[in-house]
Structure 1
């Protein structure tokens, strides 16, 4: 009896202590919340979760919902961490305007995040790297290597070759009336182009996809040097998806809450698998270079340039500050990984949206075709050269209008290195500030009839466009370093597409659909294709 009574007393006291602890935590949470120095409008957070329960799995949708309720400058919380969202051009100028590291207060992409470090991004690579010296080196390398005319010319040749192979598959599919799933095909085209360009070793993801479709039991005979191309692509997409999850959610929630815990582990296991693949790529190429005589030229792939940087075989003579030594393996892996993560998801998704719009509006499709005919003099296997791209003004306008209408990255972050004033509110140092790019580019104050897909606005009205209302590749010191390469890939594909096929949406009334996974990944863009009719 005594033991039973003692157990009851202890149990009651235990639950009382737990209850008081929880109540104390909740009270302290709201005391801190309501006593914070600079109070912005925004949804009321709850302890531990913050506003996670209101955001769900579609951050851009939640950001727009909050904007409509709280305005163009508001805050939200993930756990106990404050985040700020802006949706006005004058505020965007404060974040994106300065062009030099010394002048900008927003050199960082995000506030410190333990999850970013767990992904190996906090002091490596470029996208989320907070080590400015390391970031500067990586950025210079990527800009210099992916923007040189020689690299872009090779990229055109490789992209054209991959496109021609894909179109052979599409002609077979056309004969049996099989629709084309554009997101699936853009993913594998992207992986073949980017990985092959980056490593010098041919991927065959497009062949893998065609074989998987089993069209009349026909199979591609193309074999790549790297196996499991589609699996690698999916791993890269999963890695990109993990960035928002790891950056926004607190370690406590990720590691302890049912559901989140398993997702957290999946993302960490995926990171490990990608790192293993990168190490294999690097090791194989390093051996090939070591076995190549010094007087024999090397193929100038990105990986080759990485491995020879600051060595006697340096192809590009790249060094920044103290970084004048050959790159260590972790540097090699981080840069190569970001070539894939940055070069795959954004470009393949953007071209998918472009195709959606030009399939929906046939007059625009035909205008692109007319421009291609005018520039190249023929639609029968036009000779695509780098110098001709600047003449494709209308095509460029169509790409820009697609990005404006539905950006692949609709909400993007930067972090303050010191306190900044926004409309009289103080944004403390190391606060992540998100710019709602979609809200900016679809605001009727900045764009006439923003709901209309009108490429002409980038031909006729570009001079009157409000500064910082449209940031397709970002701006300032962290502008996308691979933008030239991305445009080459997209324009090369579009030239080949309009020269070869007529296209239409399977569902002509289909609206843009997407799945949010750090970027807006398109879904259900399906086309009927037919051979071009003159």
Structure 2
């Protein structure tokens, strides 16, 4: 009874004492850690969250200026190492096989990531290497020439629809917020390619402008398309939150627990929506006679693998059974989470810069004319895209100067050393792409938009591991080829159809950070091109 009475009478004092002891223990462990890498001093539970704020790229830029090319910070109580020097980056990204790399994991273990169904499923954050490797083989479909040819056709069709809207906008003298249009374009391409269900984000964006009551005649077949796109964006945002905060904190602190529930409810809704789409597609496949072809979208390829309707598009080694709905869902969800927030954002940043540099725009147009022989509805073949070397340089320079993914994590599977500092297994190591690709040590006048640096002799002189737009090694982005096809298709169609002019009076694009850098207010004016050679 004495103990119970003592606790009752001194409850708040005991709570304060426990917190005080925990804080003291935290700092004892911090200041006595074996490898004292430079970095900002964290606080318990929160780590360096208050120094980072809502803009991780800007925070890393400030940290790098203060602490150099190797430093640490804390996300909650988890230690994170940041590197931005080529020899250190090579240690993380160079190995090209599972057997030789020490950085096969994407991030250190996180209970929150498991709650999002990402720790053992899909690809991006999957720590189950056997499942990851299998899913990666299935994802190889998006780099197959047959798929890329279909992607060119689909992109071409959707871009033509967009340009019909833009010609109406042009007549009104209105500016175009390309950051919104690129986002809608990406959603329509990814959703339709992934599932065969036509999303009409671009049509809805035009309808919302309400220009003289004109409405798009394009109809979609995805009932909840716009809601699903927003849910995927929220899902991507939730990853940082779930990794950053300890589980007990997320589940019990007022307001925070509501946000936690919102993210998990959103995850469940996405799962239910994908279950519906998969069920509908299975039924469509079953009701299609064997002698009739199936539409070769990604979901169909997944659902027919190792069945009598197998389209024989994917080589999956010894895997000899059909995929379950849950397996197919985890892969198709990765197509959305990886495809919606990357390519479209990169394209918007690229448009920002070429709208500021008319000489670059005209060089792209000259190259398109030389490759296709005409600017009047050129025949876009997959084989011709490899000849667009200057366009590739423009894309590369846009990604270099303002990368959508400014830093990329990897986690060590065993203890490693950087510059004599010992880093324990399961520690996350961030490669700061933006810091290294904008470092004057490696790129002359890095603040200047100059595609020529990716051509000929200048390209050959670029220091290895200073430019990794799609990563490198064993976990290089499987969507690289698809992303390049989408961006090239848009740029070809754009220079053939319009002249553009920047409507922004600033020289660096604006963005908000939400797991990736999302462009805002990328405003341009368009004018229909009148002469083939102008």
TM-score by length of 2: 0.96
Which is further off, 184-193 or 312-321? 312-321
Asked if 1:291 corresponds to 2:287, the answer is yes
Asked if 1:32 corresponds to 2:29, the answer is yes
Partner of residue 410 from structure 2, selected from 406, 409, 414: 414
| Counterparts of residues 515-526 of structure 1 (less than 5 Å) | 515-526=512-523
How many Å separate the matches in 2 of 1:526 and 1:507?
6
* Residue 127 (structure 2) aligns with: 130
Q: CA deviation at 1:227?
A: 2.2
Whether contact under 8 Å (1:241, 1:517) holds in the other structure is yes
1:22 to 1:419, Cα distance in 2 relative to 1, 3 A: same
* Aligned-CA RMSD value: 1.7
* Residue 84 (structure 1) aligns with: 81
How many Å separate the matches in 2 of 1:63 and 1:167?
38
How many Å separate the matches in 1 of 2:327 and 2:14?
49
Partner of residue 374 from structure 1, selected from 370, 377, 380: 370
| Counterparts of residues 471-482 of structure 1 (less than 5 Å) | 471-482=468-479
* Residue 508 (structure 2) aligns with: 511
Q: CA deviation at 1:323?
A: 3.5
Whether contact under 8 Å (1:64, 1:439) holds in the other structure is yes
Q: CA deviation at 1:8?
A: 11
1:20 to 1:182, Cα distance in 2 relative to 1, 3 A: same
How many Å separate the matches in 2 of 1:301 and 1:64?
41
* Residue 3 (structure 1) aligns with: none
In the alignment, structure 2 segments of 5+ residues that lack a partner are: none
* Residue 484 (structure 1) aligns with: 481
1:77 to 1:97, Cα distance in 2 relative to 1, 3 A: same
Q: CA deviation at 1:61?
A: 1.4
How many Å separate the matches in 2 of 1:357 and 1:238?
28
* Residue 365 (structure 1) aligns with: 361
1:319 to 1:496, Cα distance in 2 relative to 1, 3 A: closer
How many Å separate the matches in 2 of 1:455 and 1:47?
45
SS at structure 1 position matched to 2:409: strand
1:498 to 1:319, Cα distance in 2 relative to 1, 3 A: closer
How many Å separate the matches in 2 of 1:274 and 1:513?
29
SS at structure 1 position matched to 2:204: helix
Q: CA deviation at 1:509?
A: 3.0
Partner of residue 94 from structure 1, selected from 87, 91, 96: 91
* Residue 42 (structure 1) aligns with: 39
Partner of residue 52 from structure 2, selected from 47, 51, 55: 55
1:460-487 C-alpha deviation (Å, 9 max, x unpaired): 3111111100001000011000111111
Q: CA deviation at 1:260?
A: 2.8
1:68 to 1:528, Cα distance in 2 relative to 1, 3 A: same
* Residue 119 (structure 1) aligns with: 116
Asked if 1:196 corresponds to 2:192, the answer is yes
Q: CA deviation at 1:322?
A: 6.0
| Counterparts of residues 111-260 of structure 1 (less than 5 Å) | 111-143=108-140, 145-260=141-256
| Counterparts of residues 384-399 of structure 1 (less than 5 Å) | 384-399=380-395
Asked if 1:21 corresponds to 2:28, the answer is no
* Residue 461 (structure 2) aligns with: 464
Partner of residue 307 from structure 2, selected from 290, 308, 311: 311
Which is further off, 129-138 or 57-66? 57-66
* Residue 352 (structure 1) aligns with: 348
How many Å separate the matches in 2 of 1:391 and 1:295?
38
1:486-528 C-alpha deviation (Å, 9 max, x unpaired): 1111000000001101111112335311110101000010111
How many Å separate the matches in 2 of 1:386 and 1:32?
57
How many Å separate the matches in 1 of 2:253 and 2:209?
39
How many Å separate the matches in 2 of 1:142 and 1:318?
9
Q: CA deviation at 1:233?
A: 1.5
Which is further off, 463-472 or 59-68? 59-68
Q: CA deviation at 1:16?
A: 2.6
Q: CA deviation at 1:231?
A: 2.1
SS at structure 2 position matched to 1:440: helix
Which is further off, 158-167 or 288-297? 288-297
Whether contact under 8 Å (1:88, 1:440) holds in the other structure is yes
Q: How many aligned positions are there?
A: 528
Whether contact under 8 Å (2:45, 2:245) holds in the other structure is no
* Residue 102 (structure 2) aligns with: 105
Q: CA deviation at 1:319?
A: 5.8
Partner of residue 338 from structure 1, selected from 309, 329, 334: 334
1:221 to 1:85, Cα distance in 2 relative to 1, 3 A: same
1:106-163 C-alpha deviation (Å, 9 max, x unpaired): 00000111111111100111000111111111111112x1111111111000000000
In the alignment, structure 1 segments of 5+ residues that lack a partner are: 1-5
How many Å separate the matches in 2 of 1:94 and 1:7?
56
Q: CA deviation at 1:10?
A: 6.3
Whether contact under 8 Å (2:281, 2:300) holds in the other structure is yes
Asked if 1:495 corresponds to 2:492, the answer is yes
